[in-house]
Structure 1
Amino acid sequence: MARNESIQKKLQKVRPPRVQMTYDVEIGDAIEKKELAFVTGVIGDFSGNSEIAQPRLKDRKFINIDPDNFDEVMKGIEPRVVYRVANELSEKGGEFGVELKFKSMEDFRPESIVQQVEPLKKLLDARTKLADLRNKLAGNEKLEDILSEILSSTEKLAALSQQTSK
């Protein structure tokens, strides 16, 4: 590749453009097609409540974002949201605080968000433990009989509850 080649020409070789705009130019008796570069610029504050100090809006520069460097750009901006949500997880109700930080596209996945919200994380951990227990019960009749006996007896259940709460 030539050093003075434009970025559009380089990108054309790597991945074809999604938008191609051309116009016809008459040069003498011939008509020549000219291609217009399609460049979109978006300016704004996308950092949310980032803990990283961001430059003033007028001092910011355009950042070229593509699928290859998206996570790197996210890590540099480190968007963050902080808010309070209604507590639908317990009968007490009320609200609890939520703080979400995003350093990559993976952080937007539901399982990543759950890991950042403590009450949801506790529920997921309990669900995982129950699934593990269910898997251990499959085919283990002796363990299944012991658990059935404990769950049918309120005294044994209370004793087990006291032992696990210590």
Structure 2
Amino acid sequence: MISRSRNSGERTARVQIDYDIEMYGQQQSVELPFVMGVMADLSGHGGAFLPPLDERSFVDIDASNFDHCMRDIGPTLALQVPDHLGGQPAMQVDLSFGRIDDFRPDAVARQVPALARLLRAREQLALLLTYMDGKAGAEQLLNQLIHDRDLLAATAAEPDEAPALPAAEVRA
């Protein structure tokens, strides 16, 4: 029989297996522990040395040590994906995961150079939008910058040092 206990304040087990037995003439309910073992090379390093099965030990994994176990295993993924950005038929993508947050879309994008550039541009545009909020002339200046290629090129060029302002324009 499978049952789930509902004790308030106590985290219930997801799987709780009980069975009834008769012991010394009395009916008793005995709980069987739920233990699951996975035997697999989940690292993604196909040629890596692995000890024989009888020399390996199980690792207890729970929410508190999941990231530590991920770092120890060091899972990686190498694959070819369609290149929708560069015009090539496919691009090589090499991903590595050291914690659960590395599976988030933004963390995966940071590991792919083409996507990382797009993500950085998106973040900068979001910052610009935040900065422009409430600034009356900022939108006009940006429109002028976008439509004037010479001004855009001059603004995009990063000089080694900032140009010195004439003495009359320096404000304290």
TM class, shorter-chain normalised? 0.7 to 0.9
Match of 1:69 among 41, 65, 72: 65
> Does the aligned pair in 2 maintain the 1:115–1:121 contact within 8 Å?
yes
Match of 1:127 among 119, 122, 130: 122
C-alpha displacement of 1:98? 1.0
Kindly provide the CA deviation profile for residues 56-78 of structure 1, in whole angstroms up to 9, marking residues without a partner as x: 44532211111111111111101
Amino acid at match of 2:43: S
Query: Do residues 80 (structure 1) and 71 (structure 2) align?
Result: no
2: CA distance between counterparts of 1:20 and 1:154?
68
Amino acid at match of 2:21: V
Match of 2:89 among 75, 86, 94: 94
2: CA distance between counterparts of 1:121 and 1:129?
12
With over 3 angstroms needed to count, the CA separation of the structure-2 counterparts of 1:140 and 1:51, relative to structure 1, is farther
1: CA distance between counterparts of 2:28 and 2:51?
45
Pick which of 107-116 and 49-58 moved more. Answer: 49-58
RMSD of the TM alignment (CA)? 2.9
Matches within 5 A, 1:109-124: 109-124=104-119
1:47 corresponds to: 43
Larger RCO of the pair (alpha carbons < 8 Å, separation 6+): 1
C-alpha displacement of 1:124? 0.8
Kindly provide the CA deviation profile for residues 64-104 of structure 1, in whole angstroms up to 9, marking residues without a partner as x: 111111111111101001112111123x2332221111111
2: CA distance between counterparts of 1:155 and 1:73?
54
Q: Which runs of 5+ in 2 are unaligned?
A: 1-9, 159-172
Pick which of 16-25 and 47-56 moved more. Answer: 47-56
1: CA distance between counterparts of 2:12 and 2:107?
33
1: CA distance between counterparts of 2:89 and 2:66?
37
Q: Which runs of 5+ in 1 are unaligned?
A: 1-13
User: Which structure is higher in helix share?
Assistant: 1
